[in-house]
């Protein structure tokens, strides 16, 4: 009788321990909005994937909801307390309106075996009437014509001052972009310098992007836009 009770207690203990030591998928910011961007270009955003559980989190599969997107991840095994990054690329070819795309992450998290990250983009750039962007797509060239740095000019076409703020860029391929000024009076220009990281374009043709938020005088976001960046030595 005593042995039966001990075995029962041991079973309860191990079952409880097993249920406590579980992986837990956590995505701090599961949605990203690129704002306005041109049709026929590539953009990318990196999502942080965390394991806040007590056991190893295994990424079993990543499935995108459209052939216009792909989502490489740095590692499929995440130890407790650690994190990795998933890059969600989007090809806007033949999109002329606002759209949303997602990647479904399938894991061994028993409570949430499938979670998603989502991007939003608007290719109807005719509705963007706050700033003028020249060029809207930064093509750095290919082969011997490739240049590791380029400049985008941004003009305030409203009648009120605005503030520019860089909110996202693909740091695997780009250095931190630099604005000549963040404060734009009506009719004035700013220059955004975008540089490719040394060696990033040697092995393959790069697709990257920079997202900028335009803020009003009260600090509210008026609009945002994304500049696709492409080019490579091969």
Question: Could you tell me what percent of the chain has a pLDDT over 90?
Answer: 85
Residues 6+ apart with CB under 8 A from 71: 62, 64, 86, 87, 88, 89, 103, 117
DSSP E strands, 42-188: 42-51, 57-64, 69-70, 77-78, 83-91, 98-107, 114-122, 131-134, 138-142, 149-156, 162-169, 178-179, 183-184
If phi > 0 it is left, if psi is from -120 to 50 it is alpha, else beta; for residue 178 that is beta
Picking from 183, 122, 179, 192, the residue whose alpha carbon sits closest to that of residue 156 is 183
Going from the C-alpha of 75 to that of each of 49, 60, 172, the distances in angstroms are 10, 11, 15
Going from the C-alpha of 123 to that of each of 34, 70, 92, 173, the distances in angstroms are 10, 19, 8, 24
Instruction: Tell me the per-residue pLDDT of 137-162, one tens digit each, with 9 for 90 and over.
Output: 999 999 889 999 999 999 999 999 99
pLDDT of residue 199: 83
Instruction: Tell me the per-residue pLDDT of 52-68, one tens digit each, with 9 for 90 and over.
Output: 999 999 999 999 999 99
Query: By the 8 A CB rule, do 149 and 196 touch?
Result: yes
pLDDT of 166 > 70? The answer is yes
Band (7; pLDDT cuts 50, 70, 90): low
Residue 231 C-alpha from the chain's centroid: 19
Residue 95 C-alpha from the chain's centroid: 19
pLDDT of residue 15: 47
Domain residue limits, the chain: 25-122, 128-232
pLDDT of residue 21: 87
Instruction: Tell me the per-residue pLDDT of 33-90, one tens digit each, with 9 for 90 and over.
Output: 999 999 999 999 999 999 999 999 999 999 999 999 999 999 999 999 999 999 999 9
Choice between 49 and 200, residue whose per-residue pLDDT is larger: 49
Q: What is the mean pLDDT of residues 172-179?
A: 97
Query: Is the fold of 25-122 the same as that of 128-232?
Result: yes
pLDDT of residue 217: 93
Residues 6+ apart with CB under 8 A from 222: 130, 162, 214, 215, 216
Domain 128-232 is in which class? mainly beta
Band (1; pLDDT cuts 50, 70, 90): low
Look at strands 138-142 and 221-232 and give their pairing: parallel
Distance CA 234, CA 58 (A): 35
Q: Is 39 helix (H, G, I), strand (E, B) or coil?
A: coil
pLDDT of residue 14: 47
* pTM of the predicted structure, to 2 decimals: 0.90
pLDDT of 9 > 50? The answer is no
Tell me yes or no: is domain 25-122 CATH 2.60.40.10: yes
| Mean of all residue pLDDT scores within the chain | 92
Picking from 30, 9, 222, the residue whose alpha carbon sits closest to that of residue 119 is 30
Q: What is the mean pLDDT of residues 195-200?
A: 90
pLDDT of residue 12: 47
């Amino acid at each position: 009788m005593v042995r039966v009770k001990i075995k029962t207690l041991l079973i309860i203990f191990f079952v409880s321990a097993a249920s406590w030591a579980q992986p837990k998928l956590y995505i701090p910011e599961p949605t990203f909005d690129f704002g306005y961007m041109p049709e026929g270009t590539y953009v990318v955003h990196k999502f942080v994937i965390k394991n806040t559980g007590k056991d190893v989190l295994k990424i079993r599969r990543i499935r995108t909801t459209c052939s216009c997107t792909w989502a490489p991840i740095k590692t499929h095994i995440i130890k407790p307390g650690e994190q990795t990054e998933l890059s969600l690329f989007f090809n806007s070819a033949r999109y002329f309106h606002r759209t949303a795309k997602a990647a479904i992450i399938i894991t061994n998290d028993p409570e949430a075996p499938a979670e998603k990250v989502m991007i939003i983009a608007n290719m109807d750039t005719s509705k963007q009437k706050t700033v003028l962007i020249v060029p809207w797509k930064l093509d750095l060239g290919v082969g011997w014509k490739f240049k590791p740095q380029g400049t985008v000019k941004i003009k305030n076409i409203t009648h009120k001052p605005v503030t520019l703020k860089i909110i996202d860029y693909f740091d695997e391929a780009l250095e931190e972009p630099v604005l000549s000024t963040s404060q734009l009076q009506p009719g004035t220009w700013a220059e955004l310098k975008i540089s490719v990281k040394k060696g990033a374009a040697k092995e393959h043709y790069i697709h990257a992007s920079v997202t900028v938020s335009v803020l009003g005088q009260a600090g509210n976001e008026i609009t945002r836009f994304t500049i696709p960046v492409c080019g490579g030595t091969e």
